[in-house]
Amino acid sequence: MEYGILRFKEPERDTSRKIIHVDMDAFYASVAIRENPALRGQPVIIARHPKENGGRGVVATASYEARKYGVHSAMSAKKALELCPDGVFVPADFDLYRAVSAQIHDIFRRYTDIIQPLSLDEAYLDVTHNKKEIQSGTLIARAILRDIYQELKLTSSAGVSYNKFLAKLASDYKKPAGLTVVPPSKSHEFLMALEIDKFTGVGEKTLEKMHDFDIYTGQDLYDKTELELSKRFGKLGHSLFRRVRGIDDRPVEVERERKSLGKERTFQKDITRDEEVIQFLRYISNEVDATLQAKEMHGKTVVLKVRYRDFETYTRRKTRLNYIENAEEIFSIAYDLWQDIGAAERGVRLLGVTLTNLDPIYFENIPLPLWPQKRTQEDKRD
């Protein structure tokens, strides 16, 4: 009696949606160059010059000219200056970035209200059913990039596909000012050729494990069974098994009421000095504040999260009676918490700052009686 080979049915894809991921190109630096055209073509670094603040400070972003020298976001400004001595340092202007981000979202809303912001400079859009009744997601993406450039004089990149995972990969494929479309018929070919570190969740440590398991490309990943990947990588393995098959059913989530908002930074190389921790705490606090302001929220509790190289993780929180209103207050509280639990010599793998107990910021116009007024008969009856 012959026994056939047991084959498992491939999971099915939902290819009915049209998803766009829009990502602004070097957003903060591009806005600075727009405001000061004399900076065009120069290596612009968004950070205070280290000579102005004793070597402290962190790079928020850098122009593509500066990136050629190896400068990147979250790098210390001092290191950026070493790599790019001719770099032009421009202090961050988060009020301006928030205002420009609001203009970008106004453009998005011409086409759809199903928008999921990821930060000031990127968002997912579901245009399956859109306000313009345009059947092609590609045409809508092209129109959005055109509108942003014509009206705001900024370039952006977009990815178009049938799910969020592929759309985000695609938006990064031809930066800057690129438009990449991954239709269902081309998704397998697109994913097979990708380097494995392009897949969400594959960081530096996981990349080493992938290589140890002879996985270097999407094709190598695809050739592994779900059981093999799950046994070796746990939940991430199960997720990657689906992603490499072009499966991602996550909806584009329109903003709901937020109870907390935070940012985390995982470091490729563990940081071991208090000075570095302070730099990153300040940078992350600025990021949290920028997002809070964009969403017009404020809160009362700061939560600090620290993960060390041995993966031990600690969280501490502090609550104020009044609302915390700006980045400096967030940083000050986070720094106090760090002094309670911090031990940089252990090697810090991750830092996170979160603001909780959030409420919307309401602005009310309340008429105040500045002088006595005559009471009418009707007033007297009340």
Q: Compute the average pLDDT of residues 31-56.
A: 91
Helix axes 94-108, 274-295, angle to 10 degrees: 40
Among 270, 272, 260, residue whose Cα is nearest residue 301: 260
Q: Compute the average pLDDT of residues 158-183.
A: 96
Q: Compute the average pLDDT of residues 39-52.
A: 93
* Separation of alpha carbons 205 and 183, rounded Å: 32
Q: Which of these is catalytic: 12, 122, 151, 287?
A: 122
Q: What is the pLDDT of residue 313?
A: 84
* Separation of alpha carbons 284 and 327, rounded Å: 9
- Which residues, including other chains, have CB under 8 Å from residue 15's CB and lie 6 or more apart? 162, 184
Rg of the chain over CA atoms, in angstroms?
24
Q: Distance of alpha carbon 382 from its chain centroid, rounded?
A: 55
Please calculate the CA angle 257-259-265 and round it to the nearest 5 degrees. Answer: 115
pLDDT band at residue 205 using 50, 70 and 90 as cut-offs = confident
pLDDT at residue 259 tops 90: no
Annotated catalytic, 122? yes
Is beta strand 156-161 parallel, antiparallel or unpaired with respect to 179-181? parallel
Q: Is the pTM of this model over 0.85?
A: no
In tens, the pLDDT along 61-76 reads 999 999 999 999 878 8
In tens, the pLDDT along 292-340 reads 888 888 888 999 999 988 888 888 888 887 888 889 999 999 998 998 7
Cis amide leading into 176 (omega within 30)? yes
Q: What is the pLDDT of residue 53?
A: 74
Helix axes 164-171, 184-192, angle to 10 degrees: 60
Please calculate the CA angle 37-97-168 and round it to the nearest 5 degrees. Answer: 100
pLDDT at residue 29 tops 90: yes
Q: What is the pLDDT of residue 240?
A: 95
Among 231, 211, 369, residue whose Cα is nearest residue 221: 211
307: β partners: 313, 350
pLDDT band at residue 372 using 50, 70 and 90 as cut-offs = very low
Helix axes 226-233, 235-243, angle to 10 degrees: 140
* Separation of alpha carbons 88 and 126, rounded Å: 38
pLDDT at residue 373 tops 90: no
In tens, the pLDDT along 67-123 reads 999 999 878 889 999 999 999 999 988 889 989 999 999 999 999 999 998 888 999
Q: Compute the average pLDDT of residues 176-199.
A: 96
